Structure 1
Amino acid sequence: MREFLIRILCVIAGLWVATHLIPGVHIDEGMTFVWAALLLVIVNALIRPLAILFTLPLTLLTLGLFIFVINAAMFGLVAAMLDGMSVSGFFSALFGAIVVGLVSLMGMSLFRSDVRG
């Protein structure tokens, strides 16, 4: 449960950074960050593996680069599900997903070393 909460907090931080760095990503208010992070974690846990499985030949053909398209689609899906979040296009979703992924990866690695150390 603690790791899940840490993951949510890291994704919230990633969403905050993405809204400030990527011009096409916009989140209205603070509670929308929480809902967006929760939905993004759920979508990445449930729908993303199925999308990767169904597009495996295309992913292999592009040497794994199609994973970026899947990540952008998951980011756009979360934006479509929330009223307070908007993504203006594919490249905004792509760069937003990259920023959220990098920030949450860094945050999770910091907290993992804190828990293990």
Structure 2
Amino acid sequence: MIVYIFTMQPVHYIFYRACVNLIGIGIASLIISGISVSSFIPLFIAGIVLTLFQTFLRPILFFLTLPFQILSMGIGYIIINSFLLKLTADFLSGIDVSGFWAAFFGALIISFINMLFDLFSSRSKVQVYYHKGGDDD
């Protein structure tokens, strides 16, 4: 019997997260009129930049706003994500987020897309596959 255990390596996980953020920003730009993307290249770069901001800035911002996070019962987390989306748009040309509410609802859509993809990713749980050899093994 051979057991295969599949998990993502950290580099693969960051690449996966950048692709999911790219899809989330693209869907948010289709749904919300306050978010616009000029072409695929800025969308691709925005997915990477948003992933880097989420990886490195979000934990710091979460820690700095921890009392607010506790008092708001987690609503502040969406505000942090909105800020990171707006920061990504301000950092890049070719993507525009018009204001706070566009960033807020865009962050909600991106979070929802991330949640959907995480339901089916190998990062959410370890998937074990058993291969039972026949008489030839």
TM over 0.5: yes
Please point out which of 96, 99, 104 is paired with 2:109: 99
State how many pairs are aligned.
117
Aligned counterpart, 1:116:
127
Aligned counterpart, 2:46:
36
1:116, distance to aligned residue in structure 2 (A): 2.6
1:80, distance to aligned residue in structure 2 (A): 0.5
Query: Partner amino acid for 2:55?
Result: A
Please point out which of 7, 17, 26 is paired with 2:17: 7
1:16-95 to 2 correspondence within 5 Å? 16-95=26-105
* Structure 1 segments (4+ residues) deviating >6 Å: none
The whole-number CA distance in structure 1 between the counterparts of 2:114 and 2:71 is 28
- Asked whether the 8 Å contact 2:18–2:47 carries over to 1, the reply is yes
Secondary structure in structure 1 of the residue aligned to 2:116:
helix
* Structure 1, unaligned runs of 5 or more: none
Query: Partner amino acid for 2:76?
Result: F
In the superposition, the TM-score normalised over structure 1's length comes to: 0.90
- Asked whether the 8 Å contact 1:10–1:108 carries over to 2, the reply is no
| Bigger share in helix | 1
Percent identity over the alignment is: 26
- Asked whether the 8 Å contact 1:11–1:37 carries over to 2, the reply is yes
The whole-number CA distance in structure 1 between the counterparts of 2:36 and 2:102 is 10
The whole-number CA distance in structure 1 between the counterparts of 2:70 and 2:114 is 26
The whole-number CA distance in structure 1 between the counterparts of 2:59 and 2:119 is 22
1:23, distance to aligned residue in structure 2 (A): 0.9
* Structure with max Cα Rg: 2
In the superposition, the TM-score normalised over structure 2's length comes to: 0.78
The whole-number CA distance in structure 2 between the counterparts of 1:3 and 1:67 is 21
Query: Partner amino acid for 1:116?
Result: Q
